[in-house]
Chain A
Amino acid sequence: MTHLTSVDYLVILSYLAATLAIGLWVGSYVRSGSDFFLAGRALPWWAVGMSLVATDIGGADLVGVGGDSYRYGIVMGNFAWIGCVPAMLVAAFVFIPHLWRCNVTTIPEYLERRFSVQLRASVAAVWLVLMACNLGVMLLASAQFMSELAKWDMSLSIVGVAILVGIYTWSGGLGAVVYTDVLQGIVMIGGCLMIVVIGICDLGGVESFIDKVHAAVHARARQAPAPAPTMIDEPSSVTRAKEKLRLTKTKEREREHLSLVLPVDTKSPGPWPAILFGLALVMSPGYWIGNQRIVQRSLGAKSEYEAKAAYVYGALLKGLIPFLVVVPGLIALVKYPDLAADQAGGALPMLVGRLLPEGLRGLFVAAFLAALMSSVSSYLIAATTIYVNDFYRRLYRPHADEGQMLLIGRWTTAGFVLWSVCVAFQMMSFGQSIYSVFQTLMSFVVGPTLAVLLAGMLSSRTSSEGALVGFFAGLFTSVSLFTMNLLSVRTWLDMPPLFRIDAPYLYYSIWAFLATICMTIVFSYFSRPDPAEKTRYSLWEWREEGGAA
């Protein structure tokens, strides 16, 4: 991307100032721990809904999905369509209202009410470690992308973003994070919409754009290497058969670029079993029901109805997101069709640099910063909430009052900011691959957490022992599969890869989920049922008794 002008910087500074002002304004109303961690349970549906969407789209996703859609096509849209909307709606009407009624602050807290303190501490510890490390990784990824996008100094970016996000999260807690997310969501959607509109107009309108995408995809599919010529004369029937096979493959590749449903043997990261079973049925429900980063917002909603409405509103917005993040990749494909596979990640920055005029480039960088900051702040408040509620208050100071909780919440936030800056600097030498490794590690926990949550909510027969064993069995499964699929391990063991796609994290999540469910059922069957004060937190018994809180 080309350099930014003073007008661009003015736009970026205005955005940053507005973010800080909103965060500090919300912070002026924070008086207690409850205000800090759940925004006093006073958040309106529209703010929570926009915050859900803004949190879900990270800066790395913005650039990454653009690059992946350049390379693989619209299959990346699955991550926001079937990979979000169905799970969000089921969560809206079944699981989120239940968690809201239980009046919990964290997912691990619910797990203690339904199961045991051991499960609460285990789930909280695993999530806390991953979130704390991910904070540093997100900061580093932000700095790397800002360096590529606008040639900003990486160290300054790390410290700058950390301080800014730290100040408004320290001041206003969840409320500040949610209300700044609203601004960040608007800037993000506006910035991406601008690229889409300008890009499509530049290509001669919607119809012309569609024709050109088809032509570019066709040309790209034909570029695939032809079969190697044979040294001996082969019969013409064999030559014809080879040519027919080549044409069939070309048509398949062309269809794949513009299809959401891809075959099992596709090279893209979205073969249909991974999308349907891994993404739609495990990762997505795990994300929207069992991820503290996401669920915490709806727990802070004004009422049960507002919590549901936020998820439904978020689902409506998610329907539009692929048009904003996938279409720029296709525009780049038409304009710069000759990028190599490893250059595809630069497609969006290239588009921004060459397509947008002065001022609007600044708006896009602001949109990108917005996506980064909303991700970092969501990790920050979630990690702080888990540490303070599931460890400090639960194990160390059970009688801490609201004032103490606020104080410790703020200081923990500051501690995590400092920690994340140190981790980011420490990881600078690892390069960008560390980001994808941590994303994969996060995916390990989603399947087991979802499985124990569902087992606890949907069945009163699930026992505490069964859930605890199941959770660790799931973790063990995903970690084992990941380890066995590493190139170095495979070479050492002299065996072929377990999975045939590049990033099989969706498959890890399926197997981890299944392992957790199986072990939970088996161990629950052989152990004593939980007492009534535990099983009353399952969905069905809660309704029969008319409330357990």
Chain B
Amino acid sequence: MTMLHWIGDALRGQLLLVPLPAVRWLFIGLLLALMAWVVQLPSSETTPSGRHSAWYEDLKIWAWLALMFQVLVYSVF
């Protein structure tokens, strides 16, 4: 056993204590936090510059959809 084994075992022991439902919420929480971040992005960052854009050109919508799908997947599986 080396120092690295000792560190690894200690970390592993701590991580084993975390219940899986809490881990699942951590995964989903990460995705929800990203959704919140995407929603608050200014329109200038998510639409084409220098011209009027249609609603479907706002990348916020599609990014939000991609994340929503992930939230669904990690909630079910």
Contacts and interface: CB of A to CB of B under 8 A. Distances in A.
Interface in B54-77: 59, 62-63, 65-67, 69-70, 73-74, 77
Contacts of A93: 38, 41, 45-46, 59, 63
Given A89-B66, A315-B66, A495 B45 contact: no
B73 A89 contact: no
Contact of B65 (A86, A259, A316): A316
Given A276-B26, A495-B5, A312 B70 contact: no
Contacts of A89: 34, 38, 63, 66-67
Interface string A489-530: 000000110111000000000000000000000000000000
Contacts of B34: 86, 89-90
Contacts of A313: 62
B55 to A, nearest CB: 14
A442 B20 CA distance: 31
A258 B77 contact: yes
Interface residues of B, number: 34
Nearest to A316: B66
Secondary structure at chain B's binding surface: helix, strand, loop or mixed?
A: helix
B15 interface: yes
B77 A74 contact: yes
A440 interface: no
A498 B59 contact: no
Interface in A295-354: 303-305, 308-309, 312-313, 315-316, 318-319
B47 A498 contact: no
Nearest to B62: A312
B5 A498 contact: yes
A261 interface: yes
A263 B1 CA distance: 24
9 contacts: A74-B77, A77-B73, A77-B77, A89-B66, A260-B27, A264-B12, A276-B27, A305-B59, A319-B70
Given A261-B20, A319-B70, 12 more contacts: A77-B77, A85-B67, A85-B70, A86-B30, A89-B63, A93-B41, A93-B45, A264-B12, A304-B49, A315-B63, A498-B4, A498-B5
